[in-house]
Chains A and B, each alone.
Chain A
Amino acid sequence: MVEFKVHRVRFFDYMPSGIRCMAFHSKADRLALARLDGSVEIINFSNNYFQEKVIPGNDSRSIEAICWVGCDRLFTAGLNGEIVEFDLERLCPKYTLDAFGGPIWTAACNSEETHFAFGCEDGSVKLFEILPDKIQFERNLDRQKGRILSLSWHKSGTLIAAGSLDVIRVFDVKSGHSVQRILVDKGPAGTHNKDCVVWNVAFLSDYTIVSGDSVGKVQIWDANKGTLIKTHLVSKWDVLSLSVSENEDSIVAGTSEGTVVQFQLLSPTIGDTETQWIRTRTFKHHTHDVRAVTETKTAVVSGGLDTQLVICSLLDKVEVKPSESVLRKVIFPHRTLVSCAKKPGLLLFQFPDQLELWRLGGTDTVGKPGESLPVTRKPEKLLQLKRKGDDHICCSTISECGQWIAYSTVTSIRLYQLQCESNNISITKVSKLPKVLRSAHQLQFSADSSKLFVASEQATIHVISLSRSECKHVHTFKPKSGSSAPVHLLAASADGQWLTSANRHCEINVYNLKKLKHHCMLPVYNSLPSAMAIHPETNNLLIAHADQQIFEFSTVDKQYTDWSRKLHKEGFHKCRIKWHTPITHITFNPSAPSQVMLHDTYMFCIIDQSLPLDGLKAQFYSQLTPKDMSETDRPSKTNAFKMCTKYQPLLHVNVLEDDWLVVVERPLIDIHSQLPAPVRQKKFGT
């Protein structure tokens, strides 16, 4: 039985950005998605839908189309007229290229991955050749009137379908001439907009073109004859996104109403070989525009203005496996955006364009469990730090003492010193940073605030010593494996001896700070670590992986501890599997170091390492159940796991001194209230 006083914080106005487009690479089983703020995320579907990589956004970048080439090259094109290839190791743009056709609305890559086609505002379709290290402009197809809003290659690579205003054209790639012109109906008179915008086209290998338009129709055309085969009216508003499954037996379309409609190629009568596209399923998981939709082998993936990524398994495609067959929603990032200075009670919130520093409130009274105490000292916003430049903030941290703040964008690192005297706050930027510091994937201060660890390119970690007068580069650690994957997690031990880093290749390295050398590398586990921490007393390393597994590794003995082995023998409790979000933070209770605190979006849990792990397979108690038990029953049921689901959804949980907890919640309703109003729909009785 543990009792905590909880700072329940809801003033972190974190607002995720809406999803604009996405591309799924089935061989790599990864989804690349671009958001409205220009950021790009790569989600690993085979690793519990973990947000593997995040490329921070940029104010001047607006992405309209995203494309994989191979499994390691990612291209985007946007309304600023630029084509960007991203460096997936350094997590920043590799190069940008102007297509000189005005805003780019759409991009498509042919099946051989030799050529790109870009649809531009000026009505041109531009062909680019894909070279090993760059792309190169080749030629324009015949320019037509009206912007090109959608493109699709035929599998053969000889034809391209292009959707424009009121018309779909088919181009012959070789000659560059338009060989077919299909007029699309404007829809019934008096509808909300006059032009029919062909938002999407898909060119199937049997020379069928599927189009989705602003009148709410999904239409199926014969590309050779230019005739309409079938019209499905799916929405009163726009059909904004369209996707064809890999084997071309299913089409999904997303609409402005928030619905996703599936069509399947079926024969209307059993035993008939003749097939046609039949509307089968309608999903309604979104409240706003579904701007992006795609289909994997087992699921329909959709995302839109309501910022959430929804992965809805198709039950006929999955083997019955409860954890797989449910609906998943990815709403919050799989990393922590909050850092906490425990001693002074400060919280640092990271937004894409600014940092906010808050001091927690307080109370003079004590209370019984379940009570809410009067707030005598209100929380205070101490600082609002706007970033410089167009690049969004990718990581930030505050030192344990609360005197240092550091943040990084893809182009620069900034370090600030903070002086807090009673009510006076002064902040000074540390002007002379060592030259090696250009950008960081992750930042971490040492426990005594004397050092800053910067995870940089090529999986290197720079150690910077901090003092009032100057900052000095002390050492650079490099992984023994020679891996260049970006480091996304750092942890330093309380005694200042150990530093561990985890990179995107699932490698975890332990460095000795005293001797300034590589100590050891943990056995590589096939799931990405999602959170990591070093025990303050035993210096054991605790790691949580994206697949919900937890390991404890003794840095001294260079092996997994007995506790870790026992945990895996008993099996981490079933109820963990119920939650799909990864553990994003591990910390320890300063007043009882045997207590490990870890949390994901929907719960936080305290594991007491001093208590026996047996009985995990027995009934797992929620926090309220044992209250009803008699006193004599209780000790025997004492569990090493103590779980709390009272606060949801969680962005951060931390244990402060004197049994205080800080819980940063972000209610979904607050996010929804900041979204624009959804399209009006007539509901019964309104």
Chain B
Amino acid sequence: MAALYEGFTLCGLAAGKSRENSGLLGIEPGRDPDHVIVTGAGRTVTVYKVSDQKPLGSWAAKQGQAVTCPAVLHGQTGEYVAVQDSKVLRIWRDEDINFEKVFKATLSAAVSRIHALPSLEPLVLFQRGAVRQLDALLAAPQQAVEEVLSEDEVIRWSSCFLEAEQPLLLFSTEKSGECFLYLQKLKPNVLHKYSIDSEGKGACPISFTATLENKCITLMCLYSSGCVYKLLVSLHPSVEGEQHLPKSLLLKLPVSEGVLSRAAITSLEEGHIAIVGSPHSASTGDRDFLCIWNTNFQTLQASKELAGGAYGQLWCNAGKLYVTHGKVLTVLPYRCEMSSLAAALGKLKQTSTQEVTLSPSELNWNSLLHEETALQPRTGGAGMRTRNSKQSLTSQATLSPTINQVLEDLKGVSSEEVEEVLEPFLSCSPVSPQFQLGLSHITVELLKRCQADPGFYPQTVLARLAQTGRLSHSSCPGFLMLALEKRDYFLAQLCLQQFPDVPEAVTCACLKAFLSVADADLVPVNVDLEGVSLVDGPGHSLEGVQNGFSPVLLEEDGCDVQLAAPKLDQSSSWIDMSLTSPVGLKKSALLNEILRSSYSESFLLPHLKDLSSRQVILFLRYLQYLYVRSSGDVYTQLPGLRAPTVTQIMDWVSLLLDAHFTVLIMAPEAKGLLTQLHRFVRSQVRLYSELGKIQGTLQELGKINKEQEIGLYSIEVIELF
């Protein structure tokens, strides 16, 4: 899942600007990943240290002059470059205080933008389409600049890439409703022109973003109709002359009515894009949202409402989004994780209790790189970085023979010796990517042997492997089933805890196995009891009613025909605190693990039908017990870190009833249970209707408060009866 974190305000926007214009020209990366250069419309250039929200330096042009393109940092010299009044180049350093006195050079043509590349000379894009490197331009400022674009053709957007140490400039133009794309290579000087077909019905591209991957530029383009198209621009086109560029629909934003006008798109990593100025769902017409969409699965990953209205300006730098809205420039850190189907469907295992540990089956390249940059001296350039990472890769590569060696060694050893063989491997650094690969290799090998040779079952080693938290069901498919086969409930529990992607069929098989095992059989088994509250039996510790909430009362005040019945017959009451667990402690720990696992209803339902009616009733009883225990307390979670939440319990109750309703209706022993469930549902419905009433009342209160703003004098009309 991608996530937007709590943002903060970097700076205010110049007041008095119109609704269309935020007063900000652009944001460019600064010297540090934490530094940005903010160019305000008009006259100011400010360098901010983002984490401190503090300006480090600020320069302003004289009254009457204007900075016309975003200032950039010259990566090689450490100087800032900006254009004043379209034609005057200004170059200055951090030490310069007075903007008036810094270097200036007047050019012969108007500049559209300057693009900086970390290790190369900045590129200057002129409004008429010509491109020059800065040093070449400074050598002869008044040199003639050719006109590339036809008349009335204006540059809408431009971007710059580095491919094979060569700079590339991509820019889009518009001429009377038609869009063109130009790809400018500098050495050798080649210009490719593409035409982009407009969507028809007046929908035109309003925002672009491009990424370079595998010698191919992916251009994403947001149309005013709310469609995001993907265009692939090859770096080495075979055909000369103007080409037509095919586009493919990537995403259609839910634009309910009208067209988008002030929206912007920017691509993030891992197939995510951020869009500002479009509603996140068709029902809300409100467009002041910043959304992160997953383009692979067309899902909305995160959204945030922007107070005060968005301007449709969005920049991304070093893991943070910069967006203008209202009167402020807000910085929103974000995180995009690799998209998987599980993540897109929201099925990824909840990581709330284990947020600190790394996500199981993936490697965090970011942290790897960060650790290295931290070691690097600050002055180090990008070249050095690449060299360093290459070094580390080679050093890691030396591990792989060891893994092969380990696999080799494992063949033929007995269960007892396995641990000995694996010991050096398991104790080595877990961060290396080779470890990850090796782990699943080894596990698969071990599983193969276990299946082939019934006598071979290295329980402790398998448990340790599972405990590394780096295995998943997909990387070693037979693991969990093997554990069930061997009746190794400890290992099965461990797998359920650690694997993020247990299929529903397997979950159901586990459930069936857990339900059918006799409590006596579990006595010798070592089970992790964290999931059950240790004070079992009559829930004395939970009996205390908090905040005056008493589920018993709620039930009793109902219009039940036998009002006195629940009082007299304590055992039949759904909300009976003295209810005892229908299963043993260890069994309930195992069942809780099932309840906590992730699943999809439609896949789980057919498998649930395999349960026998006795198993269903037992499980329902247990769920009922759990619910009573947890609802007696205002907290939604039972004590214990790994206890199921009330929602999880309720979902399972619903699923079981769905799967076995006809069976349960017929079974006489389930009758009492069903009545209780029905009564419980009724009490819940009543609770929610009461909550609805409270909500309505409170909303009215909100309205009343609004009216009470009275000044020192007002004229009112009243009517007396």
Contact = CB atoms under 8 A, between A and B. Distances in A.
Interface residues of B, number: 12
B720 A643 contact: yes
Contacts of A7: 713, 715
Interface in A324-375: 361-363, 367-375
Given A1-B720, A4-B720, A623-B720, A10 B711 contact: yes
B721 A3 contact: no
B721 A8 contact: no
B356 interface: no
Interface string B292-329: 00000000000000000000000000000000000000
A271 to B, nearest CB: 38
A639 B716 contact: no
B190 interface: no
Contacts of A679: none
A5 B712 CA distance: 17
A10 B713 contact: yes
13 contacts: A2-B719, A3-B718, A4-B719, A4-B720, A5-B715, A5-B717, A8-B715, A9-B713, A368-B717, A369-B717, A373-B716, A379-B713, A642-B721
Q: Which of B714, B715, B716, B718 has the most CB of A within 10 A?
A: B715
B717 A8 contact: no
Nearest to A624: B721
B15 interface: no
B720 A642 contact: yes
Contacts of B711: 10
A373 B721 contact: no
A644 interface: yes
Interface residues of A, number: 38
A188 to B, nearest CB: 38
A1 B721 CA distance: 4
Contacts of B712: 9-11
A6 B717 CA distance: 6
A626 interface: yes
B520 interface: no
B710 interface: yes
A606 interface: yes
B404 to A, nearest CB: 62
A373 B714 CA distance: 7
A646 interface: yes
Interface in B696-718: 710-718
A372 B719 contact: no
Q: Tell me the dominant secondary structure on chain B's binding face.
A: strand
A145 interface: no
A626 B721 CA distance: 7
A379 B713 CA distance: 8
B715 A369 contact: no
Interface in B570-596: none
Given A9-B713, A367-B717, A369-B719, 15 more contacts: A1-B719, A2-B719, A3-B717, A5-B715, A8-B710, A8-B713, A8-B714, A9-B712, A11-B713, A370-B719, A373-B715, A379-B713, A639-B721, A642-B721, A643-B720
A71 B721 CA distance: 47
A-B pairs, 3 with minimum CB distance: A369-B719, A642-B720, A626-B721
B721 A625 contact: yes
Interface in A263-322: none
A291 to B, nearest CB: 31
A624 B719 CA distance: 9
A387 to B, nearest CB: 24
Nearest to B714: A8
Interface in B134-175: none
Contact of B713 (A369, A375, A606, A621): A375
Contacts of B717: 3-6, 367-373
Interface string A402-442: 00000000000000000000000000000000000000000
Contact of A371 (B710, B716, B721): B716
A38 B711 CA distance: 33
Interface string A362-394: 110001111111110011000000000000000
A9 B711 CA distance: 9
Contacts of A3: 717-720
B718 A375 contact: no
B711 to A, nearest CB: 7
A606 B721 CA distance: 10
A8 B708 CA distance: 13
Nearest to A5: B717
A374 B716 CA distance: 9
Contacts of A2: 719-720
B718 A6 contact: yes
Nearest to B707: A372
Given A8-B710, A10-B710, A623 B715 contact: no
A373 B717 CA distance: 8
Contacts of B720: 1-4, 606, 623, 642-644
A626 B714 CA distance: 26
Given A623-B721, A625-B721, A639-B721, A375 B716 contact: no
A367 B714 CA distance: 13
Contacts of A625: 721
Contacts of A374: 715
A370 B715 contact: no
B715 A361 contact: yes
A642 B713 CA distance: 24
A8 B719 contact: no
